[in-house]
Amino acid sequence: MEPARDTPAVILLSGGLDSATVLAVAGDMGFRRHAISFDYGQRHVLELEAARRVAAAAGVMEHRIVRIDLSAAGGFGHSALTDSVPVPKDRPASAGVPATYVPARNTIFLSIALGYAETIGAGDIFIGVNAVDYSGYPDCRPEFIRAFQVLANVATAAAVQRGQRFTIHAPLLTLTKAQIIRLGLDMGVDYSLTHSCYDPSGDGAACGHCDACRLRLAGFAQVGVKDPARYRG
Amino acid sequence: MEPARDTPAVILLSGGLDSATVLAVAGDMGFRRHAISFDYGQRHVLELEAARRVAAAAGVMEHRIVRIDLSAAGGFGHSALTDSVPVPKDRPASAGVPATYVPARNTIFLSIALGYAETIGAGDIFIGVNAVDYSGYPDCRPEFIRAFQVLANVATAAAVQRGQRFTIHAPLLTLTKAQIIRLGLDMGVDYSLTHSCYDPSGDGAACGHCDACRLRLAGFAQVGVKDPARYRG
């Protein structure tokens, strides 16, 4: 079912491989795309720069960057993404919740995306969560997406008083990293614009050893395509 | 059932009459209180100043203020609380969603409070929503609170992997404004520290005519106690 050409959708865009793919999926479905990114005290701004590049290349209608001080006053949680905790390298795949877990992160992001969606009259919100490769994150599971969708439909004036129906789209939920990359390549996504590494060097080169780099490299290897990201060393 | 003296709870504190009462309720129940307030581009800082006063007077363990740029890039929604839309005065009580509605506001606030709660090991979150007097706000209803509690218990590592159980307490949900004030006075809440007005003058005096002032004044009148807030004129 293709939406009307002017049907707006909100897409959460991190600047990584997954959300760049989701942005393409939403475009492929015919939505008018409004991207939203978050500046939440990441240790580096490379992610946001990548988000800007990806949004521009996709020709989105609008790209908003929302700042939240999750790292203010000591930070929410002690995450390697916002604090000075070392990023884990070459760790086994099934080691539980990674140090990169940020408490309630996707809940917070989806909530703000919901406010944005209600404001622009969008009922469709896209998020690039994935339950296969990132099973350590509780807010990347189908149960979470379903619960948020239920919440969205009781939380807003649009849903309760104006008959808007909110749908949370998580098109990558059950795909492997290789399947995501294949999907994106089929749609013409330029993955050289994306940034995945949790521990890049000063010039933006990826480390190749953090969880994000390893998943990404393994995915490209499975697809049989060279990862266009720049790695150091 | 009284919690152990060192059981932490997160309390959303706006600086208004309702959240000041909820803060007292949580204290009365024996929780170690961690208050959280939001700086989201309110047109004036009087609310946050009131939140600081109320938190200090209550002797909370900690009071965090989180900044979110909901008003950045044009604002989320066109709310009289964040934009330059005129605050409605002396409007009928049942006029639907007020202009002061901020899309997904309580969803966003509770999400950040959830991240904070998970960080400090709290399973109890208190919010001063009220379904009686503010029926125009969809995110002040029992359905909303229930849906958020379900979400919290699938969204976090604490709940999914460590057996934490999140409870969203909304002790004012079915109380009238007069009942809330009576409850607070019984617990010794000093309402002169609170701020409710949507349209105060430069020196902080309340207008007496916006929705918030009218509800508050009517509540005190019903209780038969003079509102200690300062009104202009």
pLDDT tens, residue by residue, A154-165: 999 999 989 999
User: pTM (2 decimals)?
Assistant: 0.89
A124-155: pLDDT as tens digits: 999 999 887 655 789 999 999 999 999 999 99
Q: Can you give the pLDDT at residue A106? A: 94
Q: Does A225 touch chain B (CB under 8 A)?
A: no
Alpha-helical (H) ranges within chain B are 17-28, 46-58, 105-120, 142-155, 157-162, 177-186, 211-223
Contact A157 B103 (CB under 8 A): yes
Q: What does the pLDDT look like over A103-126, one tens digit per residue?
A: 899 999 999 999 999 999 999 999
> Average pLDDT, stretch A181-185?
98
Ordered by where they begin, the domains of chain A are 8-189 (3.40.50.620)
* pLDDT < 50: residue spans in chain B: 73-74, 78-85, 93-95
Q: Which residue has the tokens 């950045």?
A: B72
Give the model confidence (pLDDT) of A49-60 as tens digits: 999 999 999 999
pLDDT confidence tier of residue A81, bands split at 50, 70 and 90: very low
CB contact under 8 A, A138 and B161: yes
Give residues 103 to 162 of A whose Cβ lies within 8 Å of B: 103-108, 110-112, 114-116, 118-119, 137-139, 141, 143-144, 147-148, 150-152, 154-161
Compute CA distances B109 → A103, B10, B14, B54, B151, whole Å. Answer: 14, 12, 10, 19, 14
Q: What is the pLDDT of residue B45?
A: 83
What is the distance between the alpha carbons of residues B3 and B178, in angstroms, rounded to a whole number?
Answer: 28
Closest CA to A124 of A22, A194, A223: A22
Among candidates B69, B119, B157 on the partner chain, residue whose Cβ is nearest the Cβ of A76: B119
Q: Looking at the complex, does the CB of residue B93 fall below 8 Å from at least one CB of chain A?
A: no
| DSSP per-residue letters across chain A | -PPPTT-EEEEE--SSHHHHHHHHHHHHTTPEEEEEEEES--S-SHHHHHHHHHHHHHT-SEEEEEEB-TTGGG-SS--TTTSSSPPPBS--TT-SS-TT--TTHHHHHHHHHHHHHHHHT--EEE----TTTTTT-GGGSHHHHHHHHHHHHHH-HHHHHH----EEE-TTTT--HHHHHHHHHHTT--GGG----SS--TT--B-S-BHHHHHHHHHHHHHT----S-B--
